[in-house]
Every structure is written in C-alpha cells, then in structure tokens.
Structure 1
Amino acid sequence: MVAAQTSVITPNENLVVEGIPPIPATLAETVNRYTNFRSASLSSWHPVRREMLISTRFADTPQVHLVKFPLGSRQQMTFFPERVGGGSFQPTQGNYFVFSKDIGGNEFNQNYRYDLATGDITLLTDGKSKNSGGVWSNNGDRMIYTSTRRTGKDNDFYIIDPKNTQSDRLLAQVEGGGWMPLDWSPDDRQLLAMEYVSINESYLWLVDTNSGEKKLITPKGGTEKVSYGGGLFSKDSKGLYVITDRDSEFSRLAYVDLATLEHTYLTNHIPWDVEDFDLTEDGKYLAFVTNEDGASILHLLETTTKQEKPLPKLPVGQVYGITWHPNNEDLGFTLVSARFTADVYSVNIRTNKVERWTESETGGLNTANFSDAQLVRWQSFDGKTISGFVYRPPAKFPGKRPVIIDIHGGPEGQSRPSFLGRYNYYLNELGVALLFPNVRGSTGYGKTFLTLDNGYKREDSVKDIGALLDWIATQPDLDKDRILVTGGSYGGYMSLAVATKYSDRIRAAINIVGISNFVTFLENTESYRRDLRRVEYGDERDPKMREFLLKISPVNNASNIKKPLFVIHGKNDPRVPLREAEQIVETVRKNNVPVWYLMAKDEGHGFSKKKNIDFQFYATVMFVKEYLLK
C-alpha cells in the first residue's frame, strides 16, 4: 500500500478515490499501532473434545481457526480473500464443519463443508442465491437452512445432509424474507421456525421436518404486536423456551407449554431485555444474557427450580454468542469491553472457573488505560430523556475538547460500551471526545421507545441530535463550536439529516453506506429485505407516504449542506445500494463545499478487508484533522 519511492499512500486497485488529498505515508506510520488490533469470537464447540472453532483475522479478512485448549495456538483452517462466517461442527462426531461466505460483501452467502481429515472443501448450496448458515438436527445427519433461490425474495426452508450434496431439497415454501430456522425438536421430527415481520412483530411456527407442513403456534391478529427473539425446545419436547416482549415493555425469557400455549415468565424480576440464551444438552440449566443500560449481564437459571445460581462477576462490557459444550458444564462466550478487544472465554458452572481461550493482539498498546464509556442523558424537544455514551480524552488534553458524534445504524440498533479499536486514536492522540447517542427508535429501552421514530415520526430522532447539540453547549469540557457528525447505514442517513438541519452547528459530516433518498433506497434495496424495511420507514408505494419520504430525504434538502462532507460506500452493498452515495455526492458538490468520496469495488455494506479499512481510516483521520481540528 505504501509506495517505496514516494511519500504518499497509494490506494489499492479496488478503491475509487475522489476529492481526497494525497495521504502522507507518515500518517500511516503514526496511526499504525491503532490499526493492528485483532479480535476473536466463538463459533462452535467440538461435540466430543474440549476444543472450539473461533473466528479471527491474521491477514486481510476474518477466517475460521481451531483452538484446542485455553490460550492454545489459533490454527487457521480457512484461507479465502473474502471473510468467512463462523464454522459449525457436525454435532455428534465433529469430523467436519460447515461454514459460509459471500463474494465482495454482497451478502449472498453460500454454505460449504470442510472435512477435517483431508482439508477438502465442498460447496453445499447453489452458488447464486442468499443462504443462511443453518441449524443442525440432534442426530447430526441433517441441517435446515433458508435460501432465496426459488423467487429471489422469499426465505424458503431447505434440508440437506451435508455429507451428501445430492440430498439437498426444498422442505417448505414461505412468503417473505424474514423466515429463519431456530431449533429441532429432540426427536428431530419438528423444526421451530420464526417469521420476522419487524423488530416489534414476529411469529413462531412448527414445521414438519419430513413433509414441510407448517403450524402457527403464536396467534396473529391480536391488538398488541408481539416480538419473539429466538426459541429452543425443552428436552421433554413438551414446551419451548423463548424470548418475548408479550405483555411487557421488555423482552423476557418465557416457557411456552405446547399443549396449552400458555406462557410462564422466568425473568419477571429483571426490568431489562433478555437478548440471548442457551440450554444445556441435559436441559438442566439455562444461561441467558440481559442488556442492562447497555451492559451485558450473564445469568444462570436452574430449569427445575427456576432459581438463579450465582456466576463469577465479569468485567462491564458485552457478552455475545453464549454456547454450552455438550459436557453440560462449560459455557463458552465472547466478551468485549472499552478496555479490551473481543476475546473468547468459558466458565465452568461446576467450579465457577473462568478460562480465557484467546488473547488478541492490541498493536503493542496497553489498553488498560483507555477511556471508559460514561452514560449521559439529555432532554429532547418533547421532554423525552435520551441517553448515550461519551468517551472523554485523557487529562493531557486540557480545555474544551472537539466532539465526534457517531450515530448507530439499524435504526433498531443500540450503541453500547465496547472496544473502540482505531477510534482510540482520536481520543488518545488527537484529544477528541467521542459521543455515541441512542436516539428514539433504538433497542434496549422498551418497545414503546422503539416505535417512536417509525413512519411519519422519522425526523423526531433527528431532533434528538439537535437536543444533544444543546446539551454539548452546557458541558464545561466539550466544545460546541467543533462538532463532527458521522454514522453508518441508517446512522449515515442521520449524519446527512443533521448536516441538512443543523449545518450551522457542526463543522463537518461523514456518511458511511447511508441512505440519501428513502424512496430510491426502498425501491432498490434487495427484494428479500424490501418489505421488512417498509414496516420501519413507511411504504413508498402509498402516495402520501411517498411524498413524506421524499420531503425528508437528505438528497432533496442537500442545498442546506454547507459544511464539508465525506461519503464512503461499497459497490456490492445489497442493503443500501451504491446509488444512494453517488446521488448525494453529485448533489452536494453543487454547493461548492469540499466533498470527499471513497468507494470500494470489492466491499458491501461497510468495509471488511483490512487494507480497505486502513485506507478508510487514514482518509478519515485526515478529514478530521482538516475540518474538525484546524
């Protein structure tokens, strides 16, 4: 990437660069250590041995690695130019695993079998459509996954014995792109499946794994929309464990009796969302994670007594992907916090011993002193309390500090205390404060809050940022005259909307894979996602809604953008098509303000290849220095 003779960084052949000045090679050297953080996440336990598959990156993209014991070496198994979605061991012998990958970030994942004895890799899907990773039968001889291959937009169920590619067949046809398999019944005769309509509405079905016949088990048509977030069969097949917000502001863990469909709630004592859970193979213990003001808390519940058992206290951060080993004792998970990058751990519930399986590199930096997240709250225009997390620069930077506001995507996402990676450079070396707001429509604060930005209420979330700008002005250590706003995906729309509405109050904006026109976005996003997005944003085919969506779209208000803009996008983005970036760049250039544009031909919805991410970071540091700090 760095040319030997010249003193500037040459973008690689897949990057299209417009308006970005030459980047000095010295910049890459200065930020180098901040670009060399790694992370690791748990993919799958070996069914017989105490070994695991993890995902981590050594070269350009994350790949599947095998780790044979805690802090053992990470043995790389897959070697592709594209990132690989975590491997899943065959669940009885573990002599092969199944993994998935796409091409250039297009998200049209294909599934593959990796034979451990030979290293042979076999394609299991059609090579063209979008396929999900799949759920194993208890017997380990079949997998059910979803694929769009029939219509391009419906997520039908397919069944395959991964050892025999000829066995692949359509199991059940469905309508819509929100279907997913959850769990096989203990006798392998039924599949629990979810039909996702929106973040506030989903349904559970039982599918016969032989005939494909479907039976709805959570009624439709009630006055209240109900969401289900995952489900597993109890070991006696008589019931299901599910996460649901039925009759509650928050998602609770519940037991559903399959004979009566009666719900028994197991986490009434916790006024927060349950976000993940797993059941031991013997059915005796449920591990679950709650999201408490953005921090993950790990819990252990005995299924017979319905009592919680104490677990060792983990550092404040986020816990992902909890998975029991078949030995019914070891619970594996990924843990990340503001002061350490994501790594894989396990806790033994017999001994309460926590073991670390990976120790990812941190570019030689001591991360123990990195800034921690601080929860802050402010009042919005209608009296609603909005919250977010602020990271303040170290004490060596006196006086009022410039601020980067970074707005999450989704919109049903949530900014949570996490490891900031490269972003720590802004804090530690440039003295910039970072603020991550959770505007209305974010998850984690109850289902009413989640709907406050839907349809015609879209711009109320933009006003939440207006109120945040007011709050910043009251903070003795923050500089209201030096604010940059950025975000990815829906956060990209938000950064553009803030730039059109509050241009006089910010210095610059960065839009990463963001929506610039809701109508062209809804018309051109991949067909399997279109209806799911209409529920959130509104249906552009309705003339009244279309008029409203056009009125609030940043591209139609772009004459108000009077401050420098940086637009970043991937050519193969299936969610927010590239045209969304091109049209905002074209339009804002007419305002005679600086517009920087970076497009990667081998990426999709955000960059995943290290060389592209690095160039994006170098350019962003230059943009921040030029337009926020000068």
Structure 2
Amino acid sequence: MLGSSLLAITLATTLSACGKKEEAATAPAATPAPAELIARKDLFGNPSRTGASISPDGQSIAFLAPRDGVMNIWVAPIGQIDAAKPLTADKERPIRRFFWAPAGDQILYLQDKGGNEDFLLYGVDVASAETKLLTPFEKTTVQIVGISTQVPDTILVGLNNRDPKWHDVHKLDLKTGKLTLVFKNEGYGGFDADRSLTLRLASKPLPDGGMQIEPFGKDGKPGKPILTIAADDALTSGVAGIPLEGNIAYLQSTAGRDKAAIYALDLGSGETKLLAESDKADIGGILTNPVTGALEAYNVDYLKDEWLPVGDAVAADIAFLNQEAKGSWGITSRSKDDNLWTLVIDRVTEPAAFWLYDRKAKSLTRLFTVRPNLEGKTLAPMQALEIPSRDGKVLVSYLSLPPGADANGDGKPEKPVPMVLNVHGGPWARDGFGYNSEHQWLANRGYAVLSVNFRGSTGFGKGFTNAGDKQWGRTMHDDLIDAVDWAVKNGITPTDKVAIYGGSYGGYATLWGMTNTPERFACGVDIVGPSNLNTLLASVPEYWAAFFEQLARRVGDPRTEEGKALLTERSPLTHVDKIAKPLLIAQGANDPRVKQAESDQIVTAMKAKNIPVTYVLYPDEGHGFARPANRTSFYAVAEGFLSHCLGGRQEPVGADFNGASIQVPEGADYVPGLKEALAAKQ
C-alpha cells in the first residue's frame, strides 16, 4: 500500500427533508442506504494489471497481468498497452517481483515454490520469450546484491546454497548464465557494490545486535571497520547506496539523533556529512539517479507520505507531481535517459493506477487502472489520526468508516458501528495512508476499521521503535487497547462489538488479545501468527542468522533461562485456557517464518480444553496467501466468521472456494455455511 497525501473525501451526503420547516426539524434523520456490496473477487482476486516498469531505452512497458488465471509478465510497446504480449507462462504461483536487466534484452524475476520463500532467479528474453532458471539450486534463496547500467550484462547475486546461513556473492553473466564466485561469506549480513559492481562495503552483525561496516580492500576482502552501528540504531540505520563517484556511500542513520537522516559516509575516513533530515519522522527512502546513483530526493512518512528534493535535479518534477497527481504517488521505474518515469498514484477512494510521466513534456498519461472493476464503486475514505497512549506516546493511526456512516462529515459515524482492529505485521513495519483492500472490504461490510502504529513500529524515530523492545504482550498490546478505548470514547464503536484481526505479528497480537484481554474483543482472526515464542525463535530460517541477535534483543533471548521464561510468559499458548470468544486461525503449510506448528499447537491445546476454534489451512501457501483462489476463499471464511460475530454484511460464498486448496482441519461447524461451501467446492 502506498502511503502518501490525499485529502479524505466524505462520500455520504445528508438528505434534505421536504415540507414545512418545523416538520423537517422534528423529522427523524434518514438512514442512508448501504453502499453496493463489493465482490470479494474484485478486491482480492487478480488485478487486471499492475507493476508497470519502463525499459531502459524507454521503448517498452513491462507489467504483471493474469495469463490463464496466474499473474505473469507482459510487455507492450510504449503507448500501446493494449498490444501487450505475455512473456512468462507460470502455471502455479503468481510472479510478484521483476525488474529489467540493465541491457533491456531480458526481464529478471524471483519465484519460490508454494510460499517456501526459496526464491530463485529467472530470466526471460524479451524478443523470444524464452525463460531460463539462472540459479538452479535447491534450498536456496537468492539476494540481489548489485545492478548497474554501467555493467549492463552482469549483476551481483547472493546465494546461500553452500551455507544456508550466509550468502556468498557471485557475479552472474546474464548472456551466458555463468556464475563466478566473488566473495565467500563466513559471517556478513549484507554487501554494497559501487556502479562498476565492485564490492565496497560489508555489514557484519555483532554479538550485541549492532552492525559493523567494513570496506573492501584491494585484496577483495573486508578490512578495518569504518563505522559501527549500535544495536539501538540497527533497525533504523544502514547503507543506502554508493554513487558513481565511488568515494562515498549514502547512509541512513539515527546515531546521535531520534529520526533517521541521510548522510554521506566517506569510504576512506569514515566521516559523515549530513545531507537530509526531518524532525517529523524517519527518512524512509531515497530517490537516486538511474545512471549515476546520485541522491536526488527523499521521502518522509508521518501521517502521510511526501517526497522532498535534494538540490534541483528533480525539484521541478516533484512540484509538478505533487500538483497534478491529486493523490499520493511513487516512482516505480525510470528510463536510462531519465526522461520517462512510471508512477503509481493512489487516491484512496479510487483503485490505484499506473501512469507514464514525460519530464520534458511535463505530461502524465494513464497506463492502466489496477482494479478497473472498482471504478465507480463507493469506496471508503481514510482518516489519518494521532491517538494518545496511556503513557503519553502518539500512536499514528488510520480509520476507515462504512460509506454513508458519517453523514455530517465530522469523522465519526452517526451512531457507533462494529469495529475491526487491524494489526500490522512485522512488528518492525508500519501502517500508512492510502488505498487498503482490507480496509475497503471491511468498511463495505459495515465495519469501522482501525489500524494502529503501536510502539515498536518503524518510521517514527528510534525511540518509538525501541520502546517495543521485549514488550510483546505488554506495552505494545497496551497501545492497541488504548486505541480501542479511544474509538469507544469517541463514538466510533460500541465496547462489545470489536474484533481483533491481523497477520504475522498481527496474528500474535490477535492471539494475545484473545488470551490476555478476552473481555475486550468479541472475536479474533489470526493469520500466520506465532503462538509460542520459544518455538518461533527456534525455527526461524537459517538465513536469518545475521538478524538473530536483534530478535533476541527485541523479543527475548531463548539461549538464557531468563529469556526462555520471558518468552514462555509472553506466549499466547501459555494462556490458552483464557480464550472465551470465537477464534479463526489461518495458516500456510509452507510458511518458513511462522511454521505450521505455531498454529497446530494452539489448536491442539484448545481442543484438549474443549475450547472452540476454526482452523483453516492452505497446503500450497506460506507466510500469507498468494494464489487468488486461496485469497478469496480465506476472505469468504473470514467474512462469514465476522458476520456471525459482529453482524456485518456478507456476500454469499458462491464460487469463491473453487480452485482453492483450502482445508479446514478443525471447527468448520463454527462458521455458518462453511461445511456446505467445502462440500460444494470444485
């Protein structure tokens, strides 16, 4: 979801009463008709097209679109989107990540199997559509280390096929497919190359959770460190690229400050020079020149996302886009000559669209709308809020109301409505302002939807992020409860009609809410959430080795008795006997982060105590649900579950189970119509 500025538009209008003035004054307020029920497939099925990216020569546009029901890569001549032809023909998994090779003759993409996150690199020839697997290894996940227009037929990749913990750096010849070892990795978490694809910096994790930045010497090995990133800064600091000049690196850093700023790091002396800063929020991303890598702009996202120029290179372009986009915008690609950019524009109450921006002509041309079936539908506005926590922190949050519920436009429904607290994953991530499919789905069904950036979320300064250390199930959860209290106090929702819903960490928050504050929630939906923090940390992917000290520091250390005790106490599984409200659990069997055992064990514990639970399992999914049939089937189950609990509207299941791998090992009886839908599935 793009997070940027858009003034929320109230969709509902008040109705004028006819007749005498005094009669109108005493007449009861008219209740607006509910918005048209939006089909789940229009919200969660395959988009029509998405992900526009321009070729280096500016002559072609690549994008993702369905081919035989699966998202594949298509290419069209510039200005002729409807003449697009498919390049790839994946039959199983949607392609989600692709990019042009610098020479423009190939498109490269990453693909896993069944959600296992063993992403391998493929290349497809643009002229012939011949697809080749470029990294033919088992139990390997590829990292992209370096790409440069200066070296068009080569990229640097990291492969963990030798040692699953560490990625060795290889040079990949895109013409021949030959892989050449550049650096054998025995303990580094990441690497940065210059525009000639020469390795310049290596990041080494430290035992305390910090990071050491070591420059490569002429012998091709890392040397004496030029910078140490403290553990408290590790989540908010890191190298952000090396420009063509090659003697500096861009550094995002919170050293000696709260909000992340951008510095130039001298690769010889290690000295830093401030380039850009904000007192509102962390600098979250930078825009660099496609050829030189020079810093041109940066973005700051507090309540809403904004881009700010550095110097004059793109200042006029940013001013133009801020004026003309009429919503938030993000650049998805730039031609090599930098005249043509592709953008995605998000106007919240319209489906996102991709546009072509011509810098010389100062013109915007729509390429396509991502979900044209949503055009003309009544979509819910989003409000950006600052909610106070009980200890004085500010919780940046986002609220959507059912269309028509706020007739007078004061940001509150005319009467309280059921609410879904939608908790983001990570937890070292954030919610932002913009079109959100789940917000639109839930609001359309009659619910208020509240997303909260609780402490531990990123983007709001290291103090806010670090305030979540070892606070799973404590002050991080208090923030969620404080946001619910705010919603009740402000007439958004009644106390007894709040559901908690989320994936990954949001799934953990759901399980914690159901076990430790069961009186606050009418029901809960947990998607791939951990139930046992000890087993979670014992089973993370091996290639997370560089990040493990941060996990131990911020969640709890399973290698110490004190840490194990903390993790046990903060595990929802420990408190399973307190569950008293309906719970829906959904899991991908191939999830490498939150293993299936996390859901299995809490379902088993609930069964042993005769506590009802509905468990939905997808054997061909991982940490989330990628196949559209699986997505729509899950949302059909969740919709029926929430309707039974909160009383919102429900679209009939219809054909939403067809083609899905959905299994319900436990509790199909607890969601009205679920058994019948399973029996009718084709």
Name the TM-score, length of structure 1 as normaliser: 0.86
Confirm or deny: 8 A CA contact 1:294 1:444 kept in the other structure.
no
User: What's the CA shift for 1:222?
Assistant: 5.8
- What pairs with 1:140-179 in structure 2 (closer than 5 Å)? 140-169=152-181, 171-175=183-187, 178-179=189-190
Confirm or deny: 8 A CA contact 2:402 2:446 kept in the other structure.
yes
- 1:112 paired with 2:122, answer yes
- 1:355 paired with 2:373, answer no
How many angstroms apart in 2 are the aligned matches of 1:317 and 1:291?
16
Residue in structure 2 matched with residue 248 of structure 1 by the alignment? 257
Q: Secondary structure at the match of 2:464?
A: helix
- 1:72 paired with 2:87, answer no
How many angstroms apart in 1 are the aligned matches of 2:368 and 2:238?
29
CA-to-aligned-CA distance 1:365-401 (integer Å, 9 cap, x gap): 425x422211233332323232311101122585220
- 1:582 paired with 2:600, answer yes
How many angstroms apart in 2 are the aligned matches of 1:284 and 1:578?
42
Give structure 2 stretches of 5+ with no counterpart: 1-36, 406-412, 649-682
**Percent identity between the two aligned chains:** 20
- What pairs with 1:253-332 in structure 2 (closer than 5 Å)? 253-268=262-277, 271-281=280-290, 283=292, 286-302=295-311, 310-313=319-322, 319-320=329-330, 322-332=332-342
Confirm or deny: 8 A CA contact 2:518 2:580 kept in the other structure.
yes
Residue in structure 1 matched with residue 420 of structure 2 by the alignment? 404
- 1:121 paired with 2:136, answer no
Q: Secondary structure at the match of 2:514?
A: helix
Letter in 1 for 2:271: E
User: What's the CA shift for 1:447?
Assistant: 0.6
Residue in structure 1 matched with residue 243 of structure 2 by the alignment? 234
- 1:89 paired with 2:100, answer yes
Residue in structure 1 matched with residue 665 of structure 2 by the alignment? none
How many angstroms apart in 1 are the aligned matches of 2:587 and 2:86?
30
Confirm or deny: 8 A CA contact 2:327 2:346 kept in the other structure.
yes
How many angstroms apart in 2 are the aligned matches of 1:201 and 1:435?
34
Confirm or deny: 8 A CA contact 2:303 2:384 kept in the other structure.
no
Which one of 136, 142, 154 corresponds to residue 131 of structure 1? 142
User: What's the CA shift for 1:85?
Assistant: 4.0
User: What's the CA shift for 1:288?
Assistant: 3.1
Q: Secondary structure at the match of 2:569?
A: helix
Rg comparison, structure with higher value: 2
Letter in 1 for 2:443: L
More strand by share: 1
Which one of 399, 410, 415 corresponds to residue 431 of structure 2? 415
- What pairs with 1:178-577 in structure 2 (closer than 5 Å)? 178-179=189-190, 181-182=191-192, 184-192=193-201, 194=203, 201-207=210-216, 212-215=220-223, 218-220=226-228, 225=233, 227-268=236-277, 271-281=280-290, 283=292, 286-302=295-311, 310-313=319-322, 319-320=329-330, 322-367=332-377, 369-395=378-404, 399-421=415-437, 423-428=439-444, 430-455=445-470, 459-529=474-544, 531=548, 533-577=551-595
Give structure 1 stretches of 5+ with no counterpart: 1-27
How many angstroms apart in 2 are the aligned matches of 1:575 and 1:317?
35
1:327–1:464 Cα change, 3 Å: same
How many angstroms apart in 2 are the aligned matches of 1:44 and 1:33?
24
RMSD across aligned positions (CA) = 3.2
How many angstroms apart in 2 are the aligned matches of 1:497 and 1:42?
36
User: What's the CA shift for 1:161?
Assistant: 0.8
User: What's the CA shift for 1:577?
Assistant: 0.4
More displaced 10-residue stretch of structure 1: 535-544 or 509-518? 535-544
CA-to-aligned-CA distance 1:111-153 (integer Å, 9 cap, x gap): 1121223222221113311112442242223211112211211
Letter in 2 for 1:466: I
Confirm or deny: 8 A CA contact 1:42 1:333 kept in the other structure.
no
1:354–1:550 Cα change, 3 Å: same
CA-to-aligned-CA distance 1:470-522 (integer Å, 9 cap, x gap): 22221224222101001100110011111112111211001000010000111
Letter in 2 for 1:220: T
User: What's the CA shift for 1:451?
Assistant: 0.9
Aligned residues: 597
Name the TM-score, length of structure 2 as normaliser: 0.80
Letter in 1 for 2:228: K
More displaced 10-residue stretch of structure 1: 412-421 or 246-255? 246-255
CA-to-aligned-CA distance 1:412-455 (integer Å, 9 cap, x gap): 11111232225423312x31100101111011211110011112
1:206–1:321 Cα change, 3 Å: farther
Residue in structure 2 matched with residue 598 of structure 1 by the alignment? 616
How many angstroms apart in 2 are the aligned matches of 1:436 and 1:301?
32
- 1:611 paired with 2:622, answer no
Q: Secondary structure at the match of 1:481?
A: coil
How many angstroms apart in 1 are the aligned matches of 2:362 and 2:38?
44
CA-to-aligned-CA distance 1:71-108 (integer Å, 9 cap, x gap): 7235332221112243322213x112221100000000
Confirm or deny: 8 A CA contact 1:281 1:328 kept in the other structure.
yes
CA-to-aligned-CA distance 1:186-224 (integer Å, 9 cap, x gap): 44434455557899955544447x964224654227696
Confirm or deny: 8 A CA contact 1:41 1:342 kept in the other structure.
no
Q: Secondary structure at the match of 1:471?
A: helix
1:609–1:380 Cα change, 3 Å: same
Letter in 1 for 2:366: R
Letter in 2 for 1:502: T
Letter in 1 for 2:578: N
More displaced 10-residue stretch of structure 1: 245-254 or 299-308? 299-308
1:217–1:232 Cα change, 3 Å: farther
- 1:621 paired with 2:639, answer yes
Letter in 2 for 1:103: K
User: What's the CA shift for 1:605?
Assistant: 0.2
Confirm or deny: 8 A CA contact 1:71 1:356 kept in the other structure.
no
